[in-house]
A = this chain, B = another copy of it.
């Protein structure tokens, strides 16, 4: 790109994403991005106040790329809530498996931000929880789920499926049995959601 072309945020983000892919999150710098665009690093800093702000924006864009697929499943009332819950949880796992396989460097960049408690990670989790809450609310309204508080139940389901979406388990997502294991957990959780009443002991 010629040095004098208008620099917009998307151009910077696309270039930074490529730099991250090539150099990895530990080595990629703002200077690398500027050099790839033929501009000064000051020109990049005009759009992003810090290396971290730039890193967050790139990672957010990368994460959001398949967000719509998940959101569409969560909102699809043509799919009965129980099946929708199962499909959605499998899609979350499949999406993360694909990301780590296709884009290990960007996945690592996301991991570093999550470890630093970046809003990129907390926003991503909040978004997933909203989708899950919508499925569970639909299940409570017409799918036989027993819950007085869909958001609380969504948090419990999300905690109970951490192995299948929490970054800390990424190494396990390549296990050949991981999808069958998620299926088992889904079965148990759906039985719990459908249970007529708490009948402990």
Contact = CB atoms under 8 A, between A and B. Distances in A.
A179 to B, nearest CB: 12
Contacts of A146: 191
Nearest to A146: B191
Contact of A190 (B187, B192, B194): B192
Contact of A181 (B80, B159, B198, B201): B159
> How many copies are assembled?
2
B166 A184 contact: no
A201 B78 CA distance: 12
B156 A181 contact: yes
A193 B156 CA distance: 16
Interface in A147-171: 152-153, 155-157, 159-163, 166, 168-169
Contacts of A187: 156, 192, 198, 200
**Which interface class (under 10, 10 to 19, 20 to 34, 35 or more) fits A?**
35 or more
A184 B155 contact: yes
5 contacts: A156-B188, A159-B185, A168-B168, A192-B193, A192-B195
Given A156-B185, A188-B193, A191-B192, 20 more contacts: A82-B200, A143-B201, A153-B188, A156-B181, A156-B187, A157-B188, A159-B181, A159-B184, A160-B160, A162-B163, A162-B169, A166-B169, A168-B169, A188-B192, A189-B189, A189-B192, A190-B192, A191-B198, A192-B192, A195-B195
Nearest to A181: B159
A144 interface: yes
